[in-house]
Every structure is written in structure tokens, then in C-alpha cells.
Amino acid sequence: MKKVILSLALFSLLFAASCSTPDGIDSDVSSINSAVAGNFNKIFDISTDNSGLVKITPIGEGISKSTVAFGHGTADPVTVNPGSTVSHNYPEGNYTVTINSYDIAGKETTNTYPLTILYVAPTDVNVSQNFAGTTLTLTATATNANGFTVLWGDGGVNEIPASMTGTLGGTFTVPAHTYAPGVYTLTVKALSGGAATTTVTFPITVFAPYSLPITYESAIQNYGIGGTFGGVNVSTVVNPFPGGINTSAHVWKYIKTVGAASWSGTWTPLSTPNGTPINTANGNKIKVMVYSTEVGKMLNVELEQGSNGVSNKVLKVASTVANQWEELVFDFGTYGIPSGTTFNQLVFRYNDSSDGVGEVIYIDNVTQSN
């Protein structure tokens, strides 16, 4: 009887062995059911250009996928595959990013990570000013600037900043602003998009339209408007010979340099918006105070670019005294110019009969009268 029992047991064992799982397939899933993603880490790749761009890459062992909740506004969570990255733009501030990770068994693990976005102050601020008469147009650039504001400087303590528009890394512009002639401080603030800013200021002079009388004393008159030709140099200087009929503080120094062309001189535009044309309705005489060291050399006053087809007009008057101020009178009434004719350019020339030998004269108080 014992032999029979032993044989049955051996048969059962051999049968079980013949029905085992094929090689390479393991039906034991206990290890899967107990697998948990671990060694979690986060990678925040935060841009430094004030764009607020953050790249988020979930990392961990055994992860089959992750979802990232940005912690900003109403942005929906985004599913991220292993090794992949998701990006989001943040304003400056503090945030909590939530990453839900799923292992190969489908189990979920939640981790939260603090995120701080801090914008940096813009650098390399560059502002371009362009005046058309008294109207100013501005453009500005700066590294890491998300915007600009402008205080024009002519509105008092209650002035409201004007916003310049543009894009990060590009050129920002602001609508043109028209001033009254004067001297101002322009304030341009470069914005990071956060708390950090960079402020630059510019003293600006808004010139009045160039016109007669010309006194060389006004802070808002551009005495350098126009230019010279043929080798002449001019500049506004302190009156070196105050006295007699001219005690003013500043005068115009005119140098006909050695070798300057006989036809050399200066030209001053008087057309709008930068100038006011000479109108013969206001008088036919141009009067000029002159200080020269020689008697007999002639100063030319020339009116050019006349209206209604009127040609250029030239008058020459010689100095009569040396080393003192005198007033020379140029009477354009001798030409019979119709009243109301305007001229858009004023020209001075000196001793146009020969080339320059280094002559120096001083001019002041150019006026118009009948």
C-alpha cells in the first residue's frame, strides 16, 4: 500500500513539471504591483532675458508619464512623457509647481516645488531723439527691457508717464510729443516687467523757430542752425569788446580763414518748421551790428529762396570804422520787392572780392525794420 502512494506522488510531481510556464514568461506580477517611481527630481531652466520663460523637465526612476500644473493663472496641467520638457511664461513672482508622476503600475505620486521668478534691471539703454521743429519723436532699446515709460518734463509734478510700445529685445516707440520752446529734463524709464527698472535722464533744449531779431542771447534759439561754406568758421562767443552801442553778453564770431574762398560764407535756413521766413511786410531794411579791425571791407547780407518767383537779393555795405561797434544798414527797399514777399534763407559773406587772409569780425543784433 505504501508503494502505491509513493508512485502517485512522484507522478504528480512529474506532471506539474511538464506544465510549467515557458521560458521568458514570468506570471509572477508581485514585483510590478509593488513598483513605485522614486528618486524624483525637478529641473527648472529659467531664462535670464525677462521673458519669464521656464522649461520644466520632470525626472524620476520608473516614471511612465507626468503631469505638470504650472501654478499660474488658469493654465491647464500638461502631460509630459519621460525625458520631455514643457515650457511656460511666468510674470515676476512666486509660484508652486505641482508634478504628478505615474509609475508603470499606474500608481500616482504628487510633488510640489516652489518657483521664484525675478526679473533683472534692463541694461544698455539707448534713446534716439528726433526733433521736427518743436515736436519730438523717441525710440528706445535696452537689453532685457519689456517696455519703457517717458516723462516729457513739461507737465509739472502731476505729469503722467507715457508708455512706449514694442517687444522684448526690440525697438520701442512712443507717439510724438510737441513742446513749447524751452529747456527741459526728459526722463526715460526702462521696465523689466517686474520691480526692477533703469532710469536715464536727458537735458533737452526745444528751440524756437529761428527768426529775426537775432541777438545770440536766447537759450532756446539754435544759433548753430544752417552751416558754412568755402572755409568760414563761426561760433557764438562772449562779447570781447562790450561798449559803445553794443554791451550785450554774446556775439557771433566770424572767421574768414587763411585761404578761404572769396565766395565763402554762412547760410541760415528760415523755412518752417525750424524757422520763420523774413517777410518784407515787416520792413525792407536789415540792420547788423559789426565789429571789425579794418575799414572798407564789405559785409554781404543776402536774402534767398524768395516767394512768388522773386530772385535772390544781395546787398554789400562796407565797414566805416575800425575796432569799435557800428550798425550797418542794408536797405532792400531799393529792389522794389513786393510787400509780403518772404525769403527762406539768410546768407552772410565777408570781403567776397578776395580769398581769406584770416580776417575776424563780430556780428550781433540782426534786426528788421522800415
pLDDT in tens, 235-273: 999 999 999 999 999 999 999 999 999 999 999 999 988
Residues of the chain with pLDDT > 90, as a percent, come to 82
Residue at 146: amino acid letter = N
C-alpha torsion sign, points 277, 279, 282, 284: positive
Decide: 122 and 148 in contact? Cβ < 8 Å.
no
- Split at pLDDT 50, 70, 90, the class of 84 is very high
Grid-cell match 557764438, residue found: 236
* pLDDT value of position 288: 98
Alpha-carbon gap, residue 335 to 311, rounded angstroms: 11
Tell me the three state secondary structure of residue 320.
Answer: coil
Residue at 351: amino acid letter = N
